[in-house]
Structure 1
Amino acid sequence: MTTPSTPVETAFALLGEGRLVDAQNVMTRELEAVTQRHGAGSPEWASVQCDLGNVLLNGDQLDRAIECFRQAVSAAPRDHESHKDQLTYLMNLGMALRMAGRLDEAETELRRGLQERQAFYGREHPGYAFGLQPLAELLLERGDLPAARQVAEEAVQNLWSNSHAHVADAMALRAAVVDAAGSPEPLFLGLDQLPDPVVDRLARAVTGRRPVSGRVLTELVTALETRLGADHQATVNGWSALANHGRDIGDQAGRVEAIERVLASYDRQGRAEEGLMASLGLAMAQDDAGEAEAGLLTYESAYERAERIGRPELQSQVLRNWGLALKEAGRPVPAEQRLTEALTQARRGADHEMAGRAGVALGLFLQHENRLPEARTILEECLPAMDPLHPDALIGRSHLGAVLDGRTCGCGDLPATTAAAFREFVVHQLPADLLARLDVTVEDGDFKIDVELRREPAQAELEQLNNVMEAAYAEFRRRLVRS
């Protein structure tokens, strides 16, 4: 494992672990240090403001990210490199404003940035094209398809003539614009002339877009199979994206077909673990398609795959999903057997999260069967080993509360449990003597927060309180929406 070498790398590593407050604290300390060394308004200060903005952006704290990008843009360039950096900051500002739904402001900043890029680079330079793409994205979002098409085409032509790999991103954007306009013309003209790495990048750019249409994905997969072959990872990823699209729009038959193509490819390549994961996805898709018996047979096959691989955590995952499917099919006896085996297998491995998830699944099953003492024992054993913010841990805690109250279900308690976890998250990040009271409730699908301070906070403490509250809101709002 590579150790992060810079503060921003450390911050993004922390973000990947779900530690939003720690991530922003790393960058806040770096900003303070750079301000002391180089001064506010310096190129170094602007660079860290941008890094902090990117961390906040990835933590769903858009308003704070926008302010950081504004600060970065406000720094006067001192040389060619700092001027080039400022163009990046301005583009980031425009994109963040678009993500926040502030489209008029976003268009103003993106057009301003494009003008400055033309003056700095010239219209034929790829640096100019980099400013065209976010503007085309904005115009697409606004529904101004003729203007979006014109800007996207200019970006493609610029990057194509410069033989720049970013032409893949521009082509993916152009395909989205052409599709949105309902034009019957081919979406990926010129793909056959691109080098393989650029084709692969194009595939990732298309499958990474949200939203993306079934037509775009289907034409992409067809082109990839012709160019790279059915077993190339880009092609397999395209089928996976089609499966996800089928799930999102309720096309379960298309979803099943796409996963079957993925599974067949992994089997041809002898990629056992990937094949196992695909078979689990297939079982869930079959169940959602109303083919419960086919799904159960696929789970049985998946467990045979897991046994051949021999990793306890994989066996546990299959058994857990299989047991839950049997429960939904009205077969409680084999369901309990599979869920019990899932916990046994997980305990053999070193994955504490998997053991916790298996324990929660078994505990909930026992609770719903009105076997409350057994459910309590299992839940009290497994929950302390889990990340308290894990979705399964939140579900487990809500049900444990119901068990302690003598109830057979805690399914309706999840908002209250999430609110309690929100409060705990905030309290543990602040000085022990700062808060007199912190009430968190969920009303109308959102958090309602009431804070009373025990004393007047220092400026640094007030900033910490605001940062922690905003990070908690961003993180737990996502969890509340998913629940």
Structure 2
Amino acid sequence: MHDSPPTGSDPTMAAGTGPFGQVADERARDQTWLADSADRTILQTGSRPGLVPDPDAKPERLGRYLVLERLGAGGMGVVYAAFDPDLERKVAIKLIRGRADDAARARLQREAQAMAKLSHPAVVAVFDVGEYQGQLFVAMEFVRGETVAAWIRRSKRSWREVLAVFLAAGRGLAAAHDAGLVHRDFKPDNVLLDPDGRPKVTDFGLARAVGPGEAHLGHHETDGDQASEDRSVPVAALEPALVLAGEHALSGALSLPLTRLGAVMGTPAYMAAEQHRGLVADARTDQYAFCVSLFEALHGELPFAGSNLFELAGNVVAGRLREPTSGRRVPAFVQRALVRGLSPEPGRRWPDMHALLRALDRDPARTLRRLAGGGLLLALGAGAAVVATAAPDKCTGAAERLAGAWDEARADAVAAALRATGAPWADETWSIVRGGLDRYARTWSIIHEQTCMSHQRGEASGELLDLQMACLDERRDDLAAFVDVLAEADAGVAEQAVLTLAALPRVERCTDVLALRTGIPAPAADEEQEVAAIRGRLARARAELAAGRYPRAFELAHAAEADARRLGYRPLVAEAALRLGAVRQADGKADLAEAALDEAWAAALATRHDEVAAEAAIEQVAVVGRELARKDDGQRWAVTAGALVDRRGRDDDLAARLQVHLGNMYIRTGAIDQAVSALRRALVLYTAELGDSHPYVAAARTALGDALRRQGRFADAAAEHQRALRDTVAVYGPAHPQVAVARNNLGVAYGWLGRHDDAIVEYRAAIAVREQALGGDHPRVASARNNLATALLEQGRLDEAEAELQRAIAGFRRADHPDLADAENNLGNLHFAAGRPHDALAAYEAALAAETARLGPDALYTSLSRSNVGTALWQLGRLDDAERELRRSLAALERELPATHPYLAFPLLGLGAVLADRGDAHAGEAFLQRALALAEAQDDPGLRATVRSELARARAEKHHSSQPHAETLARARRDVEAALADLRRAGPLYAHAARRAEAFLAAP
């Protein structure tokens, strides 16, 4: 089990900007849990030459849309990438083959209008419908990615990965049904995966756009008012039609081999019995096609056999479901849900898609912990759920075996400890912890009893019984260790209690037969007791680490590692080194963590201890890739970790954690697109494994929100932080300090959207929660005040902002807190906006001194403060001093950051303005050109306007010094006038830039 949750952030600054709007970085210093304009993408489709009007002729325009390129062709037509000049966006356009009659045109218009009203992240958006030379076309969202069919073929996928994708796609299908839409052609080729791994269902209802004379294989379209009743050709009617009409092409299709119907023929492979009978296709028909698609994706073969269409149809209508032959592991609860959805009679399927999705998402391995009693048991080794019967006497009494680990006396001790802290949220936390520990104990008892019963029935060997009982003994020790820590809770442990509970190793792993039979060598008989004692201390170290008590965790892990070395039992050495590495990492000692994890990985690999080897490699991604910023080494560890996780095959917990660490590594190294993709994958895995209301899910969502913000997708970031706040309240209750972290992050997101009123509401709520939980002098209260001040500053409420900043600075100083420099920088921003350059310089210099003492003279955050100092010096006319500080800042940032990083814009802007003011307009223009390229990529109109204004001034000055050209000067004045209009709208932070623009325009 993992030693720490996914990392998120509690930024200390909301929109904390320096001169020219420079962002003072929002650092994740509060290491706690709480860390879509849709992407434009290419719509992929399989190529079928000859089925489009003229596959080689690309029209220049389709309606108002400018055609860019031909993307591919399918059974219904050809798909183009195009540009919408009215809305300035890229779209995908499907040009439907065959000429449209009035009925087809009306049907498509209705379908498109209905689709345009459906807004769901798992459905490709339809924007418009039109006509080109008698042929209909549909303009849709431009989706870059691949079909689910291609995704499945490209690599071996675990059943959990496949199920997670189909659950998300199914929600889109359900949303369409709720809106009154039926797909009628759902299949893996009609579901796209965007670069973030999110599925999007496409081609809703478009099969119905084909005219009566254009019906393709297996479909017939009715006319006029009956268009809503989409009927298919009955199988019995096909053969006479062939004879009478002489449709040789259709006759040939009927004899095609159907071993890969989904690839060869498309629709027939996914047609329900009612379609073969010629009856109405409705939402239950879509449900059937969804189940066929998921069955095929999981098993690698279709659910109904058939060497041709007639044979297939006969099996579908009769409900002759074949036994899968691929040997792939598919859980019984999934198989049961699919079998019902594949019923030949629509009335015997699930009531709707929502019911089917609930059944598919009801993983017993996940929900077992939430059972109120022992009525549902795991049939170990078979993956099925069975109703419990009376157990033999020798298999009863499992609950009594937990005495001393979790019982009423232990519960009373934990409750007393939590309440003794006096925290206002203690009772709610106790309720959450009590419920979680009770569920854990019940799950342990159920699995313990069922393990015994399976052996008694002859379903499990004595060897397997020993392995499972040893695993259960370890989980009991883990439970006892975690309860020990909670029973000694101080205020810090009480705050982390829910996280401590979440870090408990999952007892369901004791049902994973393949994982248990790893071949790890057993200790010698005379060493078994000592090995058990050392593992007990490691369990306690894990619990202390989860509770945030790092010194005690280190003490235990270090002693256990020494004893494991002395004993010489290498699997135990691997376990101890892993624990020690995790503690070192949490305590900020990355170099020591790397060494310990290296040893853990090597010892685990040598002894086939795959779980420890995988965990060690995953943690190296965090230590080496994120903490030490060695991206290439981090990626190599990620490849190793991925291979180990794949070999285990059933651990989405580890797979999700790997993606979280990759996402955080990519954020640290500036690869934000890759970070977003990794964190989305983590969120899918965690949600599928743990459900929505889990701390790991909230933390992964928070990290994703942070990555989206850095990507400039502020609306998407705010949406993720809104959901993270909702989940955090559900997990912790409304008064817990963790809720303040979530509110703080949401305030940051609102600030970047310019929704400062909303940001202020969230910051004030965060302050109220923290003051009640932690007291008014706590540095986290100061952090929220610091953020509140930046939002007030953005609104021009300078007096209120200054009052909050002074309180924040006082709080940080009392605690000797590292965020003091951030607050000093924000105070400088305020003075700068108010036109008080001497006060601004004093505040910036205080921030620079604090950062230099803490981080060194040329560290990243020190250099950002130095840039602010340089800008203030420039405003005071001290150009030599300003140039010195700005050049030093720029050089340090260029060493730390990629050339395209937005932070570089600020010293470049300041340096360009300083040089232009000194009369070296040519050199100033070069710096300003670089600054403009970086500013254009940011969603900050004030910054862009400032750079444009300074660049126009520099160009005018350059021409003025060498006999000015009238048109050049006139153009410069126009550029400054345009920039000034933006600067006046941008707020007080850009007041100085606006005053310089006004002075330029007022000059002769």
Higher helix share: 1
Shorter-chain TM-score bucket reads 0.3 to 0.5
Larger Rg: 2
User: TM-score scaled by structure 2?
Assistant: 0.23
